[in-house]
């Protein structure tokens, strides 16, 4: 219990630091959302119209410290205000719409990449130097060197434009009404297939290489050698003795990735015009939508801190030495 309380205290402090940075970042960007809104309409801003807009969107005026305390109040009350770009939608409504799409896209890609990369890393390390290791390890290193935007654009051009096997954008066929029907669900699946695979390719190399290297380090440990000497089955030694201990760094990486995906896979979502949190954040940045940017970054902060706390607890469950300590 003392361990959990210490970690909670640490993450509460980290949250306040991150919230302060979240408050400052949009205000350090050049431009003002109200001025940009009128500039796009190619008109001037009368003083009374400007004041009305500030009141409508709930922008805090006055000294910076007063704006900061107003921002903290909105964070803890859950009232993040109206989105400038998507008015009259509130920030909560807009992010609530985008969140399930990001969870579907990046969540599936991360889980699949972790499962496939970890399993292949185990087999590559167990038979290191063999045919499987000679093929997948260099391929994984090569994939890690390719920028995500390149993978997404190549997939879009080959499978969406050239071959026309898969749709090139959005989350489902716009002509369909959302609902629990086979037509709608199949449309969602087909539209998500290319971005999920593209994102999985981005993640899988890191998990595979990490697991392989950790596994090789575990194979020389005394407990693994003793297990083989006792005549235990190869499968039991491989997974229960070696892979379980080698899994710890990969669990850390998974936790951080799961936290980060709530920030949205910005590049992939923008390339495929997928209506998730990443696309929403991009639109917010372009339009200087301060409330939307702050709400999105707040979700990222909470998700990453929560993921880190879960990883800390998972370490205790996976490693008996930490429980004894």
User: Rounded mean pLDDT of 212-238?
Assistant: 72
Of residues 201 and 5, which shows the higher confidence score? 201
The alpha-helical segments, DSSP class H, found in 220-318 are 222-229, 234-236, 244-261, 266-271, 277-286, 290-318
Residue 193 near residue 274, CB atoms below 8 Å:
no
Of residues 36 and 125, which shows the higher confidence score? 125
Does 62 score more than 70 pLDDT? no
Instruction: Domain ranges for the chain, please list them.
Output: 97-287
* Residue pLDDT, tens place only, 240-283: 767 777 777 777 777 667 666 665 577 788 888 888 888 888 88
Does 322 score more than 70 pLDDT? no
pLDDT band at residue 147 using 50, 70 and 90 as cut-offs: confident
The pLDDT, as a whole number, for residue 94 is 86
Structure tokens belonging to residue 222? 């005394």
Does 24 score more than 80 pLDDT? no
Does 156 score more than 80 pLDDT? yes
User: Rounded mean pLDDT of 211-237?
Assistant: 73
The pLDDT, as a whole number, for residue 268 is 81
The pLDDT, as a whole number, for residue 277 is 83
- Rounded distance, CA 171 to CA 163, Å? 20
Of residues 43 and 236, which shows the higher confidence score? 236
Mean pLDDT of the chain: 76
pTM to 2 decimals?
A: 0.73
- The domain defined by 97-287 folds into MetI-like fold (1.10.3720)
Does 325 score more than 60 pLDDT? no
Residue 303 near residue 263, CB atoms below 8 Å:
yes
- Rounded distance, CA 266 to CA 44, Å? 33
pLDDT band at residue 44 using 50, 70 and 90 as cut-offs: low
The pLDDT, as a whole number, for residue 120 is 85
Q: The tokens 């950790």 sit on which residue?
A: 214
Report, in this order, helix, strand and coil percent for the chain, each rounded to 5.
Answer: 75, 0, 20
Least confident of 80-84, 126-130, 259-263: 259-263
The pLDDT, as a whole number, for residue 324 is 57
């Amino acid at each position: 219990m003392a361990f959990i309380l210490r970690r909670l205290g640490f993450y509460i402090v980290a949250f306040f630091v991150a919230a302060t940075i979240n408050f400052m970042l949009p205000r350090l960007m050049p431009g003002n959302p109200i001025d940009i809104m009128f500039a796009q309409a190619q008109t001037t801003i009368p003083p009374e119209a400007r004041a009305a807009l500030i009141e409508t969107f709930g922008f805090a005026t006055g000294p910076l410290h007063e704006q900061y305390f107003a921002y903290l109040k909105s964070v803890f009350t859950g009232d993040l205000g109206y989105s400038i770009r998507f008015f009259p939608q509130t920030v909560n409504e807009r992010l609530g719409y985008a969140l399930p799409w990001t969870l579907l896209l990046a969540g599936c890609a991360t889980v699949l990449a972790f499962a496939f990369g970890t399993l292949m890393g185990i087999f590559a390390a167990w038979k290191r130097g063999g045919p499987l290791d000679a093929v997948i390890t260099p391929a994984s290193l090569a994939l890690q060197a390719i920028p995500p935007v390149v993978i997404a654009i190549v997939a879009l051009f080959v499978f969406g434009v050239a071959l026309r096997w898969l749709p090139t954008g959005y989350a489902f066929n716009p002509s369909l009404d959302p609902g629990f029907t086979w037509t709608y669900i199949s449309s969602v699946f087909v539209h998500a297939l290319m971005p999920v695979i593209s994102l999985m390719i981005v993640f899988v190399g890191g998990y595979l290489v990490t697991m392989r290297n950790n596994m090789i380090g575990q194979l020389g440990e005394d407990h693994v050698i003793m297990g083989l000497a006792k005549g235990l089955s190869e499968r039991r030694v491989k997974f229960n003795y070696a892979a379980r201990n080698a899994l710890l760094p990969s669990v850390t990486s998974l936790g951080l990735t799961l936290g980060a995906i709530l920030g949205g896979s910005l590049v992939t979502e923008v390339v495929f015009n997928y209506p998730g949190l990443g696309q929403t954040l991009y639109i917010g940045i372009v339009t200087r939508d301060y409330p939307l940017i702050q709400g999105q970054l707040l979700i990222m902060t909470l998700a990453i801190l929560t993921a880190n706390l879960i990883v800390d607890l998972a370490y205790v469950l996976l490693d008996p030495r930490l429980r004894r300590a």
